[in-house]
Structure 1
Amino acid sequence: MTAERRTAQHTPHMPAGSSHRSRRTRLGVAIAVSTALAAGFAATTANGATEPRNTPYPASSAASPVRADEAADGFASVDALGQDGTYGGRGGETVTVRTLADLEKYATATQPYVIVVAAAITMDPKGKEIKVASDKTIIGSGTSGHIVGGGFFLGQGVHNVIIRNLTIRDSYAGTWNDKEHDWDAIQMDGAHHVWIDHNDLRNMADGLIDSRKDTTYLTVSWNRLQHDNKAFGIGWTENTTADITIHHNWFHETEQRNPSTDNVAHAHLYNNFLQDDPGTDITSSYGNYARGHTNMVLENSYFDGLNNPVTRDSTATLVQRGSVFAGTSGRNESGGGTSFDPRSYYAYTLDAAADVPALVKAGAGPRSSIAAATTTAAATTLTVAKDGSGQYGSVQAAVNAVPAGNTARTVIAIAPGTYRELVKIPSTKQNVTLQGTGPSRKSTVIVYDNASGTQKPDGSGPYGTGGSATVAAEGDGFQARNLTIANDFDEASHQDMSGLQAVALRTAADKVFLDSIITEGDQDTLLLDTAAKDRLGRVYMKNSYVVGNVDFIFGRASAVIDASVITLKKRWNGSSAGYVTAPSTAAGRKGFLINNSTVNGDVSAATFYLGRPWHAGGDATLDPMTTVRDSTLSAAIRPAPWTDMSGFSWKDDRFAEYRNDGPGAGTASGDRPQLSDTGAAGQEVADWLEGWTPSAS
């Protein structure tokens, strides 16, 4: 590429003062896609970049991987009704599903299954609720398991079911207090021994969870219930028989049923975080509500900004102790009789109420990895060191030693130092990891100085843009971790050369994971490509830095840059001008997604575009795409952040923003398109990864 061109149910009664809106005008979309990363962040790069906007999970049970073979706690762990606790499909076959047909096939089967959901599965028709049979574990693969536009139904007598680690979302049908569509995330009618844990539930047409018709021995734990009118309804029965545990859930921007608990014999609620943000369209009607003849114990929860945080009917018993109420108003009630002792049913440990917001916000929702009871081939480690202490003295020598057609991962562990060499991982060598072993990304550096116009030593001509890469990764499953990959080609000294593009890292593979690295150059730093135009090439970059100035993130891959820093760099002559992205996306594919990241650098204000469309080779069938969302933009970004390229208008392709902030962010206009909330719900990290869960294994 050249610098300037490329060839290119019913609703229970509410306490007094409840309010409803007829429409939803703002739906927040909370995204927390995190792979299990142990490395910390360096303070800055050499170019002064600040840290990405993410917080590592604390070292607590909240941050533990979600295991597919775990059993429930709380009332779901109690032996009763012929069932010894709740363990789901443990002991049955483990199957991985990516389609609605397969999910329904295994979820409704009579035999036990552990069902790993490894993709975003859209319900058809919208509102569909799969009728789950007994003895099932339905668990998301990392953060990739999404159920879109529908949910699950557990009918009378269904038992021993675990639903974990999923995002269930977006059956919302346009009416805020929807009384016509009973499209829940999870509905239970007369089920028992059910564990709902570590899910993200949001934006449904009716409720998020409905526990109805004497559903009992239920535990609901570590879930995010957010941005919905009706969060969690319990009841629809004249009997008072159900036993339910609700702990460490985050009720965020939900109006009612937080939960509404009707005729429950033993309702134990502890360490939940209920939060109502000020100044939004969603205002809580009430928090924890003991209705009918419910007997509730409420312990060490945290209520932030809620109206009527604790409410009970005169016929109910409600004992609360140890909770924190911050900025709440209205009814805050207790009493009404003698309570039960939850510890007479099961053991549990209370967290301090003051710690609940941070603990629950960090730990609720889907986890980044599942430790399922499966066996994988052992990884091989090859060592590289310049001082002769490793098996190999160069990175390429170690790559050469990887056998073609390998299936197990090979980790090339590279000792600290600067390795001035070209590295190529061919397509025949898959699952190769380049991993620096030093204390930071800067400790291990692979660098070279070829440019597009640099002549090959054999006299066959110039390298070309792709050929200029310091590291070229063509094998699927490539990973790079804890190192720097750079191209230090000196543009100032080669102004007479035709072809100044100089790539640091080129990927032309699928399932590429770039974890805690620095890629540094000037023009065309990071080429994220595919093996062919019709081949899928997914890339996930996390906790990393990309440094450059012209089109320095470019190519046709479906790539996510997440929780990272994009550092803008001045040109060779000291001027400030450039372009962050130049996608060359094939029609029907996802392009680039910059998510939860920071764009900054020591450059002049309003001098950089977020991107422009690269129709490689003048191919009009391409449909370039860049989305920048939930990120901080410095003043360097132009007020009109997209521009044309080589005769192709950016307005004919796919360029958009969503909920960015910082001095370089702007409001919606014809020159600055913003995604709607509905549109943004379809442009999340999981939508890009299409069932793949990046992990270090």
Structure 2
Amino acid sequence: MSENHGKARHRRRSTALVAGVPLTLVAAGTLAYGTVFGVFGEDARPRAAAAAPAWAAETADGFASVNALGQNGTYGGRDGKTVTVRTLADLEKYATAAEPYVIVVAATIDMNPVGKEIKVASDKTIVGSGTSGQIVGGGFFLGSGVHNVIIRNLTIRDSYQGTWNDKDHDFDAIQMDGAHHVWIDHNDLRHMADGLIDSRKDTTYVTVSWNKLSQNNKTFGIGWTTNTTADLTIHHNWFRETEQRNPSTDNVAHAHLYNNFLEDVSGTDITSSYGNYARGNTKMVLENSYFQGLKNPVTKDATAALVQRGNVFSGTSGRNESGGTAFDPKTYYSYTLDKAADVPALLKSGAGPRSSLGTTATTDTGTKAAAATTLTVAKDGSGQYTTVQKAVDAVPVGNTARVVISVAPGTYREVVKIPSNKPHVTVQGSGGSRKDTTIVYGNAAGTQKPDGSGTYGTPGSATVSVQSDDSQVRNLTVTNDFDEAANQSLSGHQAVALLTQADRIVLDGVIVNGDQDTLELETAAKDKPGRVYIANSYVTGNVDFIFGRATVVVDKSVITLKKRWNGTSAGYVTAPSTPGNRKGILINRSTVNGDVSAGSFFLGRNWHPGGDTTVDPQTTVRNSTLSAAVKSTPWSDMGGFSWKDDRFAEYRNTGAGSGSANADRPQLTDAQAADQEVADWLGGWTPGA
């Protein structure tokens, strides 16, 4: 990317640091090789129940585990076939079927029309595949008599039409009218037009556990009936930025609430009006929950009974009530309480979809999924191929199973390109260290092509180009060794080591070496997504050396600053060109250092390619260690555009190069930081192997 600065065009000022919604990601220290996206093709196909993974056999706890109404606990569709769905038509087909099914949702499914609620039949498990299962703009309805249903590990979101209490758009995430034996577990429910969960008309024997409920008005309503028959267990749920009904329980015979975290963050658009509410003839037991910043955290009607034990209230105000005689939950089922003080940390890390749930390990025939194909590369001829590119060329076009190209230790001086029609490719060094295997070349943007057709340009200079979705680079070094000092007369010193132009890319345990424009992170086209997860890696460079329009997480890595060709210290770590509606570059839990002068490097500058006024560049650096090399004013203008009109911020960085908030060094608030975590960047994708 050029260092030249051009004249800015008129552009609307962007005032928000971020527009996003929080998710929680379980990040494994070491990523195993495999995929969380299922093993089926585009059309859903069933497989034998005998081969079901362990999670498909799990059953509910709490009141949903109680034998009653002719139903022995809640186990969903475990006795039926397992199908993987990626379309609304397939989801509705299997969810409404008479026979039992385990339905794995392995994609984002948009409801049409907005507000649509699929009428789920009995004996169903509907589960997200890892964190990739999302339902957008609608939800599920369980009618009278529907029973034995598990809704698990899904993100259900965004039917909100812009007006709280909008009776014309009564769209719920999960609505139950007269159902029984339902388990709602490990979901992310948010931003719906009406309730996130509505349990009405004598719905009973329900357990709601380990969910994240956020950004909503009427969050969780129970009852709305003159009968006092319902039994519900609500435990280990994180209610965050929810105005009311957290939950509200009306005429509930037995409501057992424990180890929940109710959080109202100050300075946001949503303010709680009350927390847990016992109404009518409800009997409620409320144990070891944590209330943070809520108004009226616990309220009860004069006719209701509410027993409190072991709860923590921090920064709350208003009504906090209890009284009467309720019941002993252990009469109905066994359970173990966590300490209330541990609940916030426990739920921040554990609520919501899990990468370990909903992943499929077998094919539709009940046999094991095809193992990843391994192609071997060795310079000495002991492998199948002597160059990495020859192995890439051998990968079938349109391959659907992972192909691992295992590269023996050595230095491979070549240009490698994984084309867009060969997804699921892993290029992996087989040595004991990422330093053992190196792919290196020395093209620059201004280098003439051998065929005389012109120069390579910046993307074309890359030593390794990854243009296919779901591909990975692991345990090796990628270098561009273009010699700037020896080529001062050349126009165009940008020299990319590694280029990505695809979605769901993993760079794990790699070293990426270069000077200017080391690591270019793009998308296949401006309107296409391009998520890249970089972990346990090293990236070196000096000018704009992590750049592009992709959505990028640099996690648990080291960013090494290098002096320039003439020995001077000056440069920029990032140069995002993020589209206005996307996430940009997130540097998280990483270190920025190098053998350069103090105060000589910016963390980033805002790149508007060709003066593009539609982009909204974004870099967030958080929870990282910054050396003294980082400037006290860490952001810079580029091309005549002010960085202050774009999205640049820090959060809780440490080290000599960190600093406190001021006009030239914006810091995220805790509330903003909660919406700028790794999972928010990855958008429902869990990096697998």
Tell me the TM-score range normalised by the shorter chain. 0.7 to 0.9
Does the C-alpha gap of structure 1 residues 500 and 562 become closer, same or farther in structure 2, counting only changes over 3 Å? closer
2:210: which partner in 1?
Answer: 222
Conserved? CA contact 2:616–2:647, under 8 Å: no
1:391-417 Cα offsets, whole Å, 9 max, x none, are 8887567657767775432334557x6
Does 1:135 find its partner at 2:123? yes
Does the C-alpha gap of structure 1 residues 68 and 522 become closer, same or farther in structure 2, counting only changes over 3 Å? farther
TM-fit CA distance, 1:439: 7.4
Does 1:170 find its partner at 2:162? no
Conserved? CA contact 2:441–2:482, under 8 Å: yes
**One-letter amino acid of the counterpart of residue 374, structure 1:** T
Moved more, 152-161 or 473-482: 473-482
Does the C-alpha gap of structure 1 residues 606 and 504 become closer, same or farther in structure 2, counting only changes over 3 Å? closer
TM-fit CA distance, 1:38: 1.9
1:561: which partner in 2?
Answer: 553
Does 1:349 find its partner at 2:336? yes
User: What CA distance in whole angstroms lies between the structure 2 residues aligned with 1:430 and 1:639?
Assistant: 38
Does the C-alpha gap of structure 1 residues 71 and 612 become closer, same or farther in structure 2, counting only changes over 3 Å? same
**One-letter amino acid of the counterpart of residue 360, structure 2:** A
Conserved? CA contact 2:5–2:638, under 8 Å: no
TM-fit CA distance, 1:492: 2.6
1:496 aligned counterpart, secondary structure = coil
Does 1:255 find its partner at 2:243? yes
Conserved? CA contact 2:530–2:551, under 8 Å: yes
Does the C-alpha gap of structure 1 residues 348 and 387 become closer, same or farther in structure 2, counting only changes over 3 Å? farther
Conserved? CA contact 2:114–2:137, under 8 Å: yes
Does 1:524 find its partner at 2:517? yes
1:408 to 401, 406, 413: 401
1:217-263 Cα offsets, whole Å, 9 max, x none, are 11101111123333222110111111111111112232322222222
1:207 aligned counterpart, secondary structure = coil
1:61: which partner in 2?
Answer: none
Moved more, 622-631 or 68-77: 622-631
2:137: which partner in 1?
Answer: 149
TM-fit CA distance, 1:196: 1.0
User: What CA distance in whole angstroms lies between the structure 1 residues aligned with 2:166 and 2:223?
Assistant: 19
Does the C-alpha gap of structure 1 residues 403 and 96 become closer, same or farther in structure 2, counting only changes over 3 Å? closer
Conserved? CA contact 2:501–2:530, under 8 Å: no
Conserved? CA contact 2:261–2:343, under 8 Å: yes
TM-fit CA distance, 1:628: 4.0
Does 1:287 find its partner at 2:287? no
Conserved? CA contact 2:445–2:458, under 8 Å: yes
Moved more, 95-104 or 351-360: 95-104
User: What CA distance in whole angstroms lies between the structure 1 residues aligned with 2:310 and 2:219?
Assistant: 24
1:628-655 Cα offsets, whole Å, 9 max, x none, are 468579865978855449xxx899xxx9
Does the C-alpha gap of structure 1 residues 561 and 610 become closer, same or farther in structure 2, counting only changes over 3 Å? farther
User: What CA distance in whole angstroms lies between the structure 2 residues aligned with 1:504 and 1:637?
Assistant: 29
Conserved? CA contact 1:67–1:372, under 8 Å: no
User: What CA distance in whole angstroms lies between the structure 1 residues aligned with 2:523 and 2:466?
Assistant: 10
Does 1:30 find its partner at 2:22? yes
2:38: which partner in 1?
Answer: none
Does the C-alpha gap of structure 1 residues 358 and 88 become closer, same or farther in structure 2, counting only changes over 3 Å? same
1:40-66 Cα offsets, whole Å, 9 max, x none, are 9xxxxxxxxxxxxxxxxxxxxxxxx99
Moved more, 26-35 or 197-206: 26-35
Conserved? CA contact 1:584–1:614, under 8 Å: no
Does the C-alpha gap of structure 1 residues 567 and 75 become closer, same or farther in structure 2, counting only changes over 3 Å? farther
1:494: which partner in 2?
Answer: 487
1:155-183 Cα offsets, whole Å, 9 max, x none, are 22222222222222233333445566433
2:461: which partner in 1?
Answer: 468
1:115-155 Cα offsets, whole Å, 9 max, x none, are 33333334444433333333332222332333333332222
User: What CA distance in whole angstroms lies between the structure 2 residues aligned with 1:397 and 1:273?
Assistant: 55
1:206 to 187, 194, 198: 194
Moved more, 431-440 or 226-235: 431-440
1:366: which partner in 2?
Answer: 353
1:612: which partner in 2?
Answer: 607
Does the C-alpha gap of structure 1 residues 201 and 553 become closer, same or farther in structure 2, counting only changes over 3 Å? same
Does the C-alpha gap of structure 1 residues 296 and 564 become closer, same or farther in structure 2, counting only changes over 3 Å? same
Conserved? CA contact 1:258–1:288, under 8 Å: yes
TM-fit CA distance, 1:361: 1.0
Conserved? CA contact 1:230–1:255, under 8 Å: yes
1:481 to 474, 480, 500: 474
User: What CA distance in whole angstroms lies between the structure 2 residues aligned with 1:106 and 1:684?
Assistant: 34
1:50: which partner in 2?
Answer: none
Does the C-alpha gap of structure 1 residues 185 and 637 become closer, same or farther in structure 2, counting only changes over 3 Å? farther
Does 1:301 find its partner at 2:301? no
User: What CA distance in whole angstroms lies between the structure 2 residues aligned with 1:492 and 1:660?
Assistant: 35
Does 1:594 find its partner at 2:585? yes
1:45: which partner in 2?
Answer: none
TM-fit CA distance, 1:528: 3.7
1:275: which partner in 2?
Answer: 263
2:371: which partner in 1?
Answer: 378
1:17: which partner in 2?
Answer: none
User: What CA distance in whole angstroms lies between the structure 1 residues aligned with 2:545 and 2:405?
Assistant: 27
User: What CA distance in whole angstroms lies between the structure 2 residues aligned with 1:313 and 1:537?
Assistant: 50
What percent of counterpart residues are identical? 63
Does 1:424 find its partner at 2:411? no
Conserved? CA contact 2:23–2:188, under 8 Å: no
**One-letter amino acid of the counterpart of residue 594, structure 1:** I
**One-letter amino acid of the counterpart of residue 488, structure 2:** Q
User: What CA distance in whole angstroms lies between the structure 2 residues aligned with 1:82 and 1:658?
Assistant: 58
RMSD (Å), alpha carbons: 4.6
Conserved? CA contact 1:213–1:236, under 8 Å: yes
2:570: which partner in 1?
Answer: 576
TM-fit CA distance, 1:329: 4.4
Conserved? CA contact 2:569–2:601, under 8 Å: no
Does the C-alpha gap of structure 1 residues 656 and 135 become closer, same or farther in structure 2, counting only changes over 3 Å? farther
Conserved? CA contact 1:632–1:665, under 8 Å: no
**One-letter amino acid of the counterpart of residue 359, structure 1:** L
Conserved? CA contact 2:392–2:418, under 8 Å: no
Conserved? CA contact 2:209–2:234, under 8 Å: yes
1:372-431 Cα offsets, whole Å, 9 max, x none, are 35332112446678999988887567657767775432334557x663533525437543
User: What CA distance in whole angstroms lies between the structure 1 residues aligned with 2:125 and 2:615?
Assistant: 40
The normalised TM-score by structure 1 is 0.75
**One-letter amino acid of the counterpart of residue 4, structure 2:** E
Does 1:264 find its partner at 2:252? yes
Conserved? CA contact 2:159–2:171, under 8 Å: yes
1:172 aligned counterpart, secondary structure = coil
1:4: which partner in 2?
Answer: 4
Conserved? CA contact 1:422–1:469, under 8 Å: no
1:118 to 74, 94, 106: 106
Conserved? CA contact 1:66–1:165, under 8 Å: no
1:548-582 Cα offsets, whole Å, 9 max, x none, are 344434567x5433546666655434252447336
**One-letter amino acid of the counterpart of residue 362, structure 1:** S
TM-fit CA distance, 1:187: 1.8
TM-fit CA distance, 1:39: 6.3
Moved more, 224-233 or 271-280: 271-280
Does the C-alpha gap of structure 1 residues 394 and 345 become closer, same or farther in structure 2, counting only changes over 3 Å? farther
Aligned length in residues: 630
Conserved? CA contact 2:217–2:243, under 8 Å: yes
**One-letter amino acid of the counterpart of residue 480, structure 1:** V
Moved more, 398-407 or 171-180: 398-407
**Aligned ranges for residues 22-101 of structure 1 at < 5 Å?**
29-33=21-25, 36-38=28-30, 67-101=55-89
2:609 aligned counterpart, secondary structure = coil
TM-fit CA distance, 1:67: 3.5
User: What CA distance in whole angstroms lies between the structure 2 residues aligned with 1:429 and 1:127?
Assistant: 37
1:659-684 Cα offsets, whole Å, 9 max, x none, are 75477999999xx9x9xx99x99x99
Moved more, 591-600 or 293-302: 591-600
